[in-house]
Amino acid sequence: MRNEIELEGIIEDYLNGKLNDAELKAFEELRLKDATVDHKVVAHKVFLESLNDYAVISDLKHKMDQAHAQINVAALSKEVGPHPSFIINIWRKNKAAIAVAASFILLTVVTLYSIQQTTQQSGSVELVSRELAKIRNSQSSLIRKINSTNEKKDLKPANYGGTGFALTANGYILTNLHVVDGADSVYVQDNKGNSYKAVVKRKDSQYDLAILKIVDDSFTSLSNLPYRLKQNVIGMGESVYTLGFPKDDAVYGQGYVSSKTGYNGDTTQYQVSIPVNPGNSGGPLLDHEGNIIGVISAKQSQVDGATFAVKSKYIQEALNSIPNDSLGKKVAFSKRNSMQGMSKPKQLDKIKDYVFMIKVYK
């Protein structure tokens, strides 16, 4: 807690130009190395700018009140008449007050416009989870194949859905937190249509990540994961692809990294040029060699191909935070990638068994 408070103080000094040259250099090196610190700096800067805007508006309101008090309303009422000179007299006697009032009105209009633009911009980022109940297919059920337990027979169509992918062979699944947040129960469905009950083992609201664990007796462990987690930042223009569930069947999407930062310069995300739809949230983002480099989380509306993905570094952080599983082993991601050198169709054939539809019941 103390370290957090000290960091906030350093960030404020940094933004206010109070650090000396050595401190400034050291802090900027820290920003480059630690994306979390960089994220805090950006957020604090926005906060300080908002405070400054509020202070300016408050000061102008105070000046306007003072100007209004100085205006002689009784005198004005006597001068208001058919003679055109009354307007000139009003201006001469009250020009200071009118100037302040005009400034306030102008600033208010500009501020309201800025707020409206910010609101529109913020609202343009859409979480790409899937509201399943509103897009049912002709089969009237999203569960194509259900194992023979009474609980699963009685399941109604899910309320929301998304995508998840295997972190381990024994049933740990990663998805976005916004996909499963507030769920009464969660099921995952594999590419064959088998549905398994899962529980949320870990929530990370900072990076919008959730780790699920399949807790269904009918589930058998997967084979060794064919992909590995690549933690090195990849460059702009590199080819990437995803597999997700915007509909009942898995859908492939291909594109490239268009920016090494996400929405509003968020350093914890990539921006990728891949078309995604509701249901793609939580899907894996892979490079051309089949390494996991991120997880699809959102898209920007009215902007073609502006999709955002949380970087794989933060997937590893979430995984590290899980206690030992029931076997007493530390949950660890695969260190091997058996897809390297394969063609894209063969890579997709490999990973299809490790990507799941997430079904949420509320």
Cβ 200 vs Cβ 215: under 8 Å: no
pTM: 0.60
Report d(CA 161, CA 131) in Å as an integer: 6
Pairing of strands 355-361, 239-244: unpaired
Burial category of 9 from C-beta neighbours within 10 Å (exposed 0-12, middle 13-18, buried 19 and up): exposed
Q: How is residue 23 written in tokens?
A: 């401190």
- In 3-state terms, what secondary structure has residue 222? coil
**Sequence-ordered list of residues with C-beta below 8 angstroms from that of 325, at least 6 positions apart, any chain:** 170, 172, 213, 331
Q: Helices H, strands E: what count in the chain?
A: 9, 13
So what's the pLDDT on residue 309? 94
So what's the pLDDT on residue 102? 57
Report d(CA 336, CA 332) in Å as an integer: 12
So what's the pLDDT on residue 136? 35
pLDDT per residue as tens, the chain (362 positions):
556 677 778 888 888 888 888 888 888 888 777 767 776 777 777 677 767 766 767 777 777 777 666 655 555 555 545 555 555 555 555 555 555 555 555 555 444 444 444 434 444 666 666 554 443 333 222 222 333 333 444 455 667 789 999 998 889 999 999 999 888 899 999 999 999 999 999 899 889 999 999 999 999 999 999 999 888 888 899 999 999 998 888 999 999 999 999 888 889 999 999 988 888 999 999 999 999 999 999 888 777 778 999 999 888 887 777 776 654 455 566 677 899 899 999 999 999 999 999 999 88
